[in-house]
């Protein structure tokens, strides 16, 4: 049996969670802190859920050389950042490369219980994105193409039905019928990397699109004042916005405006980490989006320029801390936007303070100064400590 003692992130109540057979079996509530005054009691929250992870530690998912072992390695590396469930993300590329990526991830889920328990699905970001400079971001223009239901069905077959989110641009003719078919098949359709006009965005949402992928990014450097596709998505109550709050992708003022405009009920945090996340600064060739540079400040950009970002290098723990700094949201809200809310979007689970809940939790401490991230002290997955060590009372 594993026991997790700490302060609940949502109520501040001191509890001990008893975990048996991968689930919460009992919760003890303490009237007094079982902690000497000189020591800070850690917090307990649900395991984090990241809907957009392109790779880690030098390995992209969209790679013709991807193996089952690579998928396992990345999945286990997520433990250190408190991520107990995540969506491996395949990005715009040729059909054969995408088939290889999707089939390899599916094979990893079948071969490895560790992967299967951490990967509830796959996010396919593209290839049906805008080909225009700016909106396509770092996605290769040569592979940006019109939505094709027959092709997508073959990709879903390669993934063995595991594509859970599809990000596309609704600027193409006939896209609304494609969106309806995708949504009817159980796929969450998100709008992203788009140069669509107001009518096209409205039609996509009417057809069932329900999310904006990293709103404010994958966009032109300069936009018409209004209307434009950022305002259109910001005002659309039927769209939940995923946000990259790493301090690089969106200025603090934009994050604050987006969160207040969408409301916290319609926002989730994502990391958008790419394969070079976790690597030292430098230039890297032949990644999924071509040559990139990881700068000293943590930004990842398309090589030889600094305008277009090529994904992120920082985990959700940075986004949680920044969200509290940039806006007026409290700790419970910030944690929920990186755990419960994304889990609900894709109909998966994370830990809750209820008997029978999956025992997926993080024990963490708060930043001590500006610029720091949430510190993961321990990650518990299915009732087992998979990273760090749990705090235990000595009294």
Q: Which CATH superfamily is domain 2-45+351-388 in?
A: Urease, subunit C, domain 1 (2.30.40.10)
Which pLDDT score is estimated for 39? Answer: 54
Question: If you average pLDDT over every residue of the chain, what do you get?
Answer: 94
Q: At what angle do helices 95-111 and 68-77 cross, to 10 degrees?
A: 70
Q: Are the C-beta atoms of 22 and 36 separated by less than 8 Å? A: no
Q: How wide is the angle at C-alpha 364 spanned by C-alphas 363 and 365, nearest 5°?
A: 150
Average pLDDT, integer, range 146-154: 98
% pLDDT > 90, the chain:
83
CA-wise closest residue to 13 among 51, 45, 37: 45
Per-residue pLDDT tens digits for 169-187: 999 999 999 999 999 999 9
> How far is it, in rounded angstroms, from Cα 289 to Cα 291?
7
Which pLDDT score is estimated for 393? Answer: 60
pLDDT surpassing 90 at residue 238: yes
pLDDT surpassing 50 at residue 362: yes
Which pLDDT score is estimated for 370? Answer: 75
Which pLDDT score is estimated for 195? Answer: 98
Per-residue pLDDT tens digits for 30-87: 876 655 543 579 999 999 999 999 999 999 999 999 999 999 999 999 999 999 999 9
Which pLDDT score is estimated for 32? Answer: 66
Q: Reduce the secondary structure of the chain to three states and give it as a string.
A: CEEEEEEECCCCCEEEEEEECCEEEEEEEECCCCCCCCCCCCEEEECEEEEEECEECCEECCCCCCCHHHHHHHHHHHHHHCEEEEEEEEECCCHHHHHHHHHHHHHHHHHCHHHHHHCCCEEEECCCCCCCCCCCCCCCHHHCCCCCHHHHHHHHHHCCCCEEEEEECCCCCCHHHHHHHHHHCCCEEEECCCCCCHHHHHHHHHHCCCEECCCCCCCCCCCCCCCCHHHHHHHCCCCEEEECCCCCCCCHHHHHHHHHHHCHHHEEECCCECCCCCCCCEEEEEECCEEEEECCCCCEEECCCCCCECCECCCHHHHHHHHHHHCCCCHHHHHHCCCHHHHHHCCCCCCCCCCCCECCEEEEECCCCCCCCCEEEEEEECCEEEEECCCCCCC
Average pLDDT, integer, range 258-285: 93
Per-residue pLDDT tens digits for 151-173: 999 999 999 999 999 999 999 99
Per-residue pLDDT tens digits for 333-346: 999 999 999 999 99
Average pLDDT, integer, range 251-277: 96
Domains of the chain, by residue range, sit at 2-45+351-388, 48-345
Average pLDDT, integer, range 303-312: 76
pLDDT surpassing 90 at residue 395: no
Which of 121-125, 220-224, 329-333 is predicted with the least confidence, judged by mean pLDDT? 220-224
pLDDT surpassing 60 at residue 379: yes
Which pLDDT score is estimated for 306? Answer: 66
When the candidates are 3.40.710.10, 3.40.190.10, 3.20.20.140, 3.30.70.1560, the CATH number that belongs to 48-345 is 3.20.20.140
> How far is it, in rounded angstroms, from Cα 279 to Cα 246?
16
Any idea how long the chain is?
Answer: 395
pTM of the model: 0.95
Which pLDDT score is estimated for 307? Answer: 66
Average pLDDT, integer, range 12-41: 83
> How far is it, in rounded angstroms, from Cα 58 to Cα 287?
9
Average pLDDT, integer, range 16-30: 96
């Amino acid at each position: 049996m594993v026991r997790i003692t700490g302060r609940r992130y949502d109520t501040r109540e001191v509890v001990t969670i008893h975990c048996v057979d991968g689930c919460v079996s009992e919760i003890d509530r303490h009237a007094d802190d079982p902690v000497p005054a000189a020591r800070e009691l850690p917090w307990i929250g649900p395991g984090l859920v990241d809907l957009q992870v392109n790779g880690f530690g030098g390995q992209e998912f969209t790679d013709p050389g991807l193996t089952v072992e690579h998928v396992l390695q990345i999945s286990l590396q997520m433990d250190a950042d408190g991520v107990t469930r995540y969506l491996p993300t395949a990005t715009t590329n040729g059909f054969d490369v995408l088939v290889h990526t999707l089939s390899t991830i599916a094979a990893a889920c079948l071969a490895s219980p560790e992967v299967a328990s951490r990967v509830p699905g796959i996010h396919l970001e593209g290839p049906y994105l805008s080909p225009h400079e700016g909106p396509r971001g770092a996605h290769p223009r040569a592979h940006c193409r019109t939505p094709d239901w027959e092709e997508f069905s073959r990709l879903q077959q390669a993934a063995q039905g595991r594509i859970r989110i599809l990000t596309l641009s609704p600027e193409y003719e006939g896209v609304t019928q494609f969106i309806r078919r995708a949504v009817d098949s159980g796929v969450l359709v998100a709008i992203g990397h788009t140069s669509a006009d107001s009518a096209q965005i409205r039609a996509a949402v009417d057809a069932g699109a329900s999310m904006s992928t990293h709103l404010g990014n994958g966009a032109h450097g300069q936009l018409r004042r209004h209307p434009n596709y950022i305002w259109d998505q910001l005002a659309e109550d039927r769209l939940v916005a995923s946000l990259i709050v790493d301090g690089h992708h969106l200025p603090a003022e934009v994050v604050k405006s987006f969160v207040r405009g969408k409301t916290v009920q319609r926002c989730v945090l994502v990391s958008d980490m790419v394969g070079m996340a976790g690597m030292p600064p430098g230039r890297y060739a032949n990644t999924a989006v071509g040559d990139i540079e990881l700068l000293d400040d943590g930004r990842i950009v398309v090589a030889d320029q600094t305008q277009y970002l090529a994904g992120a290098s920082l985990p959700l723990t940075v986004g949680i801390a920044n969200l509290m700094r940039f806006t007026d949201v409290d700790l419970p809200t910030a944690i929920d936007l990186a755990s419960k809310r994304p889990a609900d979007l894709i109909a998966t689970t994370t830990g809750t303070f209820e008997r029978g809940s999956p025992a997926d939790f993080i024990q963490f401490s708060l930043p001590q100064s500006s610029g720091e991230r949430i510190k993961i002290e321990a990650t518990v997955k299915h009732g087992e400590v998979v990273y760090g060590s749990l705090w235990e009372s000595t009294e």
